[in-house]
């Protein structure tokens, strides 16, 4: 019996939409990851968690110190002939959103360049345009796209939806300034969460704004302890401890909201079908691995073109912290390829 033509094409379309590579798991982290983890102070996660707890109670002294420390380690100095780097401020009711724009000297493919709005990670409480500077520079050079990063407002001083509001304002401003035909939202960890939430909000509002694609590195898609195998197995000693992630979540939004609002926990969204094409990179030794993979599967099931990759031997933070160059460079290549493929 021959398969009906409509069913054949439906199956073919779903096959094209879902490019979810199976995970290969190594017994130990990659040597670069192992070196990074061994060089990290064993109480780093606990100290950060305590600082966030204190800030939620009104004392931000320790958290401010951590923020300054993370901010000062970024690669921002030095000239690059292949890039023009400019700082600006996006007008907003909150007093302005700092933005840094990386413009390649030669854009790929002719015409107006694609643009990428990058949202840094840091559990919505730490990080800045400096902490993602190395990746933004590399992605702009490799892809030919204009890449911009913003200093969105941080929790707990500015809980949900402040960071999301800043993301939406910056995305609109960027399109107005560049006139780009393609704008991607990208981010790592909490930044990936903001990218997805902004894309959902834009699609649900049915505005004239569009998002061409999502580029996500180990994103937070369920802002609560998920009890998954990866959460339990990698909950301590792998760059993002469960205790710290729980404090990030508490600082960003109340538990009741996190467990029901799809703009905080996008895995809960009934509107995943509205999302643009997705590149989602997960790390094997990361508590967020399983929820990220589940999000990729659910989005693909909803009909979204999804390209999901699992980096064997990797841990959280390879986008922003130096020393894990194997995964950093692979991430740059995968993201640049995703942008070039869509442009062509």
Q: Which residues are catalytic?
A: 189, 286, 316
Q: Is the pLDDT of residue 101 over 60?
A: yes
Q: 224 with 255: CB under 8 angstroms?
A: yes
Q: Of 324, 246, 242, which Cα lies nearest the Cα of 283?
A: 324
* Per-residue pLDDT, 17: 60
* Per-residue pLDDT, 344: 65
Q: 196 with 219: CB under 8 angstroms?
A: yes
Global pTM reads 0.93
Strands (E), the chain: 18-20, 83-90, 97-104, 115-119, 146-150, 183-188, 213-217, 278-285, 306-315
Q: What is the pLDDT of residues 21-54, one digit of tens each?
A: 889 899 999 999 999 999 999 999 999 999 999 9
DSSP-derived secondary structure letter, 220: -
> Which string of b and e fits 171-206 if b means at least 16 CB within 10 Å?
bbbbbeebebebbbbbbbbbbbbbbbbbbbbbbeee
Q: 30-44, 61-75, 295-309, 330-344 — which is least confidently predicted?
A: 61-75
Q: What is the pLDDT of residues 241-282, one digit of tens each?
A: 999 999 999 999 999 999 999 999 999 999 999 999 999 999
Residue with tokens 């393609």: 182
Q: Is the pLDDT of residue 79 over 60?
A: no
Q: Which domains does the chain have, with CATH numbers?
A: 43-343 (3.40.50.1820)
* Confidence category of residue 136, pLDDT binned at 50, 70, 90: very high
* Per-residue pLDDT, 7: 37
Q: What is the pLDDT of residues 323-334, one digit of tens each?
A: 999 999 999 999
User: Pick the residue with more confidence: 320 or 17?
Assistant: 320
Q: Which two tokens stand for residue 163?
A: 């960071």
* Per-residue pLDDT, 232: 97
Q: Is the pLDDT of residue 321 over 50?
A: yes
* Confidence category of residue 132, pLDDT binned at 50, 70, 90: very high
Q: Of 51, 65, 72, which Cα lies nearest the Cα of 244?
A: 51
């Amino acid at each position: 019996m021959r398969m009906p033509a409509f069913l054949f094409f439906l199956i073919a379309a779903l096959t094209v939409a879902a490019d979810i590579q199976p995970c290969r798991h190594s017994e130990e982290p990659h040597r670069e990851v192992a070196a990074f983890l061994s060089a990290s102070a064993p109480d780093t996660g606990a100290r950060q968690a305590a600082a966030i707890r204190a800030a939620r109670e009104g004392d931000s002294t320790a958290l401010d110190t951590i923020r300054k420390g993370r901010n000062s380690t970024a690669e921002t100095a030095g000239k690059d002939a292949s890039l023009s780097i400019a700082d600006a401020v996006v007008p907003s009711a909150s007093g302005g959103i700092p933005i840094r724009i990386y413009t390649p000297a030669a854009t790929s493919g002719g015409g107006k360049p694609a643009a990428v709005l990058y949202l840094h990670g840091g559990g919505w409480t730490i990080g800045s345009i400096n902490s993602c500077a190395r990746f933004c520079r590399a992605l702009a050079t490799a892809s030919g796209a204009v890449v911009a990063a913003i200093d969105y407002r941080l929790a707990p001083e500015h809980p949900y939806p402040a960071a999301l509001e800043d993301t939406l304002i910056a995305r609109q401003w960027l399109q107005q300034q560049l006139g780009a035909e393609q704008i991607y939202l990208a981010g790592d960890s909490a930044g990936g969460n903001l990218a997805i939430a902004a894309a959902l909000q834009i699609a649900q509002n049915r505005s004239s704004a569009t998002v061409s694609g999502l580029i996500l590195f180990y994103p937070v898609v369920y802002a609560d302890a998920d009890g998954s195998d990866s959460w339990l197995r990698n909950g301590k000693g792998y760059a993002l401890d469960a205790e710290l992630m729980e404090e990030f979540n508490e600082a960003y939004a109340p538990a009741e909201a996190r467990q029901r609002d799809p703009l905080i926990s996008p895995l809960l969204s009934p509107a995943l079908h509205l999302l643009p094409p997705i590149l989602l990179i997960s790390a094997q030794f990361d508590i967020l691995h399983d929820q990220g993979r589940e999000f990729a599967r659910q989005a693909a099931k909803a009909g979204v073109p999804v390209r999901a990759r699992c980096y064997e031997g990797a841990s959280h933070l390879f986008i922003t912290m130096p020393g894990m160059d194997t995964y950093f460079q692979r991430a740059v290549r995968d993201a640049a390829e995703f942008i070039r493929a869509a442009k062509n």
